[in-house]
Amino acid sequence: MGGPVVFLDKDGTLVEDVPYNADPARVTLAAGAADGLPVLAAAGFRLAVVSNQSGVARGYFPESALAGVEARLRGLLGDIGVSLAGFYFCPHHPKGTVAGYAVACDCRKPAPGLILAAARTLGTDPRECWMVGDILDDVEAGGRAGCRTVLLDNGNETEWAPGPHREPHFVVKDLAEAARVILANGRA
């Protein structure tokens, strides 16, 4: 196995939330990222993005536009001494308008498919990993995959719909606090 991974939701968690953004120039790190992520990396955690990108299915931008977003994100993380182990996204949405993407899938969070696929690719056991996100769909996906979960309570969750796997292990304000919680609670 390749060791533990902290899976990070992208919009509203790792980067500031700009709805349906595919413009790399508008990608900026979220609060606490520059403080928390280097600490996690130094402790041996790999970092990977797992993100719903329904803008593809909705026709707002082509899937190829996400390569520029990924490159920008890798550059921003490189500036703080952090590498990204993987960038995984779900381009689907059942109510999309683009043929081939307008489907129900097992990779769209809250389903666990994206995390499970990323874990396989990265050679890790999800039970040794963490999922950090800003909404309960992120928490549910992580819980269903077997990860421990951290919710960033930054105002982005608006529904607070209860259900199985939707109770986070920890609730924090930003990625710096998330890193402290993850380090204090170690590996599974």
Tokens at 144, concatenated: 């269903």
Q: Is-catalytic flag, 134?
A: no
CA atoms within 13 A on the CB side of 93: 15
The catalytic residue among 11, 134, 137, 138 is 11
Tokens at 22, concatenated: 């595919």
Specify the DSSP element, H or E, that contains 50. Answer: strand 46-52
The catalytic residue among 9, 134, 137, 138 is 9
Nearest to 164 by CA among 178, 175, 149, 179: 149
CB of 48 closer than 8 Å to CB of 5: yes
DSSP-based three-state secondary structure for 143: helix
Q: Is-catalytic flag, 79?
A: no
Annotated catalytic residues are 9, 11
